[in-house]
């Protein structure tokens, strides 16, 4: 199963919208007959890939697969039926499929007399497809809120300038994280004032080939010359204006578009709206060794009036990003929101 997880994580495999899946076919003596993995939407599923490589040798094998074989016909046929047709006698799977449309493969196999075992390295399999699993189970995209701040919690100076609060190393790390998402989301105020391109760029500040969807939410009309609407800057990547102030509505619209991971980079008002709605699933903050004393806060009013109501996320990682080009190091904190405790 560890090898199947390695196959699922093959470099270059898209992070969505389909899950990453690996499959290993074993003979009775434990030797590997064939391996396969899913290369992205429209390509053969991991089981089909392994079966094609094995040919007639697949009969009588054990299929070790990281996700429950699908039980429906989409762009490809059901993997449960493919395994039955190939004569696989045993299936060992890690994660049960949380998608009700595709689930049921294990039951179909068992009903046909195949020996089925579930749950082997299930946690590792879920971690591999963390965002996809979350989106399927919750019916909305996973939301990562990213912001940069000074030591005193300012994201911009009193005159509105914010370039640059964080270091170059922090900005490069931000682009790495942007590339892991399928949607970047800001509010109309950010577009109107800062005019961001919202692209993923490399160390030479050049756009990468794959660009996430650029999304802006809010009711304000925006000028057509804003860079977020310039497709050439993002290699033709789509831009969408979600005309709502409600985070629930915005995420619902993005989910309909098959989006699973939103990278929230809006200003303090948008951040506060998502936090108040309980729709932030991960926080990434870059802290710069600087003090402003005044200016734009990282997050707007959350309605908290006493210390016992404080929003206290759980720290899951602390990383010091070394300074580049003579800059001071920045600290990256990764946190998971926790429920507020009120008295």
Active-site annotation, residues:
47
23 is in an annotated binding site: no
Report the alpha-carbon distance of residue 247 to residue 218 in Å, rounded: 10
Q: Which of 88, 95, 93 is nearest to 113 (CA)?
A: 88
Give the whole-angstrom CA distance, residue 67 versus residue 22.
Answer: 8
| Residue 2 in marked binding region | no
Two tokens, residue 214: 């650029």
How far apart are the C-alpha atoms of 64 and 1, rounded to whole Å?
Answer: 6
Q: Does the annotation place 42 within a ligand binding site? A: no
* 140 annotated ligand-binding residue: no
The answer to whether residues 30 and 3 touch, using CB atoms and an 8 Å cutoff, is no
**Residues 267/189, Cβ–Cβ less than 8 Å:** yes
Separation between Cα atoms, residue 244 and residue 310, nearest integer Å: 28
In the chain, the largest separation of any two C-alpha atoms, in whole Å, equals: 72
Q: Is 336 labelled as part of a ligand binding site?
A: no
**Is 227 annotated as ligand-binding?**
no
162 is in an annotated binding site: yes
70 in a known ligand binding site: yes
**Is it true that the peptide bond before 164 is cis, omega within 30 degrees of 0?**
yes
Q: Which residues contact 295 (CB under 8 A, 6 or more apart)?
A: 154, 155, 156, 157, 158
Establish whether 144 is an annotated binding residue. no
79 is in an annotated binding site: yes
CA distance 66 to 6: 10
Residue 245, annotated as binding a ligand: no
145 assigned binding-site residue? no
- Which segments are annotated as binding site for Zn(2+)? 45, 70, 79
- Which segments are annotated as binding site for NADP(+)? 148, 164, 190, 194, 267-273
- Which segments are annotated as binding site? 45, 70, 79, 148, 162, 164, 178, 190, 194, 198, 201, 265, 267-273
- Which segments are annotated as binding site for substrate? 162, 178, 198, 201, 265
């Amino acid at each position: 199963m560890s090898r199947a997880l390695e196959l699922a994580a093959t470099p270059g495999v898209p992070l969505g919208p389909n899950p990453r899946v690996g499959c290993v076919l074993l003979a009775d003596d434990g030797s590997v007959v064939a391996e396969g993995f899913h290369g992205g939407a429209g390509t053969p599923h991991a089981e089909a890939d392994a079966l094609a490589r094995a040919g007639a040798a697949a009969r009588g094998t054990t299929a070790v697969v990281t996700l429950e074989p699908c039980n429906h016909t989409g762009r490809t046929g059901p993997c449960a039926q493919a395994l039955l047709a190939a004569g696989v006698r045993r299936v060992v799977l890690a994660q049960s499929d949380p998608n009700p449309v595709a689930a049921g493969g294990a039951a179909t196999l068992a009903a046909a007399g195949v020996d089925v075992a579930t749950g082997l390295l299930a946690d590792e399999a879920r971690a591999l497809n963390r965002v996809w699993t979350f989106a399927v189970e919750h019916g909305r995209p996973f939301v990562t809120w990213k912001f940069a701040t000074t030591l005193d919690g300012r994201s911009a100076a009193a005159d509105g300038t914010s370039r640059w609060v964080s270091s170059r190393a922090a900005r490069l790390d931000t682009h790495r994280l942007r590339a892991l998402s399928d949607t970047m989301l800001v509010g109309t105020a950010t577009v109107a004032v800062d005019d961001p391109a919202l692209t993923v760029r490399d160390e030479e500040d050049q756009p990468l080939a794959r660009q996430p969807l650029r999304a802006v939410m809010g009711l304000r009309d925006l000028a057509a010359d804003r860079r977020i609407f310039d497709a050439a800057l993002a290699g033709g990547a789509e831009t969408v204006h979600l005309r709502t102030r409600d985070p629930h509505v915005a995420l619902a619209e993005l989910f309909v578009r098959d989006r699973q991971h939103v990278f929230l980079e809006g200003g303090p008002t948008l951040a506060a709206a998502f936090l108040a709605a309980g729709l932030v699933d991960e926080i990434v903050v870059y802290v710069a060794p600087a003090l402003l004393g005044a200016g734009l806060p990282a997050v707007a009013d959350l309605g908290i009036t006493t210390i016992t109501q404080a929003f206290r996320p759980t720290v899951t990682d602390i990383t010091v990003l070394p300074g580049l080009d003579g800059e001071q190091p920045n600290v990256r904190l990764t946190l998971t929101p926790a429920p507020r405790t009120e008295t």
